[in-house]
């Protein structure tokens, strides 16, 4: 059973288009993180959201944490080929140091 | 800082052989995690240590897998004997007080 469900699994769109990917769970998390992973490398942290309803922006990327702290979304405006990669969400609780990852959304931006 | 260092980067071995993966965490980080990544199962947590002590090994698939952290700057993940289904990319990550996981580049293991 996957604790964090990410959708879609795969997404291929043209450069310049907008997109949103989702991370959903039945569990409540203390915080949620988004990572990007490129081929042959380890995941790299993009952002951490902590407060329900929180919105964080990182240039063309907008991250939102659901009010109930069970889900999150990542919106990319005017996608670029450099945005291509595997986007992973990860949930954490205050009770321990574990971070649980979703399977990821594999994003491919076409030139 | 060089970041998390893993070795080897690639390992090809035959079924039944012992495999040892190595990790050097970022200096000053007090937690270390071992993950396995496959297309089918994604990124799975195998085991994590806090201050060199194993805290949760519930993700270790079976007794063939073992992990040690003899000191704050070194950890190993051992598979003995290895099987073809162990083929995956194995990542080590470390965190400090801010709970941001810094990942190493991974070891791509192929068991023939």
Mean pLDDT score across all residues of chain B: 94
Report the DSSP pairing between strands B31-38 and B19-24: unpaired
Residue among B11, B5, B4 at smallest CA distance from B79: B11
As a whole-number percent, the residues of chain A with pLDDT over 90 amount to 87
Instruction: Supply the pLDDT for residue A93.
Output: 86
**Residue range A15-21: mean pLDDT, rounded:** 97
In angstroms, the separation between the Cα of residue B23 and the nearest Cα of chain A is 13
Q: Which pLDDT belongs to residue B99?
A: 74
The answer to whether the CB of A99 falls within 8 A of the CB of A90 is yes
Res. B1: pLDDT tops 80: no
pLDDT of A97 above 90: no
pLDDT band, very low/low/confident/very high, at A7 (cuts 50, 70, 90): very high
Query: Percent of chain B beyond pLDDT 90?
Result: 86
Dig out the tokens for A92 from the structure. 């954490």
Q: CB of A109 within 8 A of CB of A15?
A: yes
Per-residue pLDDT of A46-59, as tens digits, reads: 999 999 999 999 99
pLDDT, one tens digit per residue, over A58-88 is: 999 999 999 999 999 999 999 999 999 999 9
DSSP A25-77: -SS--SEEEEEEE-TTS--EEEEEE-STT-EEEETTEEEEE-TTSSEEEEEES
Residues 81-100 of A with CB under 8 A from B: 88, 90, 92, 96-100
Determine the distance in angstroms separating the CA of A101 from the nearest CA of chain B, rounded to an integer: 6
Q: B89 with B107: CB under 8 angstroms? A: yes
Would an 8 Å CB–CB cutoff place A46 in contact with chain B? no
Contact criterion met (CB < 8 Å) for A97 and B42: no
User: Could you say which of A42, A92, A97 has the minimum Cβ distance to residue B55?
Assistant: A97
Does the beta-carbon distance from A101 to B99 stay under 8 Å?
no
Task: Check CB contact of A40 with chain B, cutoff 8 Å.
Answer: yes
pLDDT attached to residue A2:
66
Tell me what pLDDT residue A1 has: 57
Contact criterion met (CB < 8 Å) for B4 and A99:
no
Shortest CB distance from B45 goes to which of A35, A98, A102?
A: A98
Of B55, B101, B104, the CB nearest to A99: B101
| Per-residue pLDDT reduced to its tens digit, B15-67 | 999 999 999 999 999 999 999 999 888 999 999 999 999 999 999 988 999 99
Q: Residue A99 is encoded by which pair of tokens?
A: 């971070």
Pairing of strands A85-92, A31-37: antiparallel
């Amino acid at each position: 059973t996957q604790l964090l469900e990410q959708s879609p699994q795969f997404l291929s769109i043209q450069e310049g288009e907008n997109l949103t990917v989702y991370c959903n769970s039945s569990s409540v998390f203390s915080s949620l993180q988004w990572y990007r992973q490129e081929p042959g490398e380890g995941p790299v942290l993009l952002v951490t959201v902590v407060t329900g309803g929180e919105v964080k922006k990182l240039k063309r990327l907008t991250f939102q944490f659901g009010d109930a702290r069970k889900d999150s979304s990542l919106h990319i405006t005017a996608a670029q080929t450099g945005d291509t990669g595997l986007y992973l969400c990860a949930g954490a609780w205050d009770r321990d140091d574990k971070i649980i990852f979703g399977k990821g959304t594999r994003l491919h931006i076409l030139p | 800082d060089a970041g998390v260092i893993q070795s080897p980067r690639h390992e090809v071995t035959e079924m039944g052989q012992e495999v040892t993966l190595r990790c050097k965490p970022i200096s000053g980080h007090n937690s270390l995690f071992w993950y396995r990544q496959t297309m089918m199962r994604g990124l799975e947590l195998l085991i994590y240590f806090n201050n060199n002590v194993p805290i949760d090994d519930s993700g270790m698939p079976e007794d063939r897998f073992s992990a040690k952290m003899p000191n704050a700057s070194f950890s190993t993940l051992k598979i003995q004997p290895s099987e073809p289904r162990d083929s995956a990319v194995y990542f080590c990550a470390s965190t400090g007080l801010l709970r941001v996981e810094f990942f190493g580049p991974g070891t791509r293991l192929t068991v023939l």
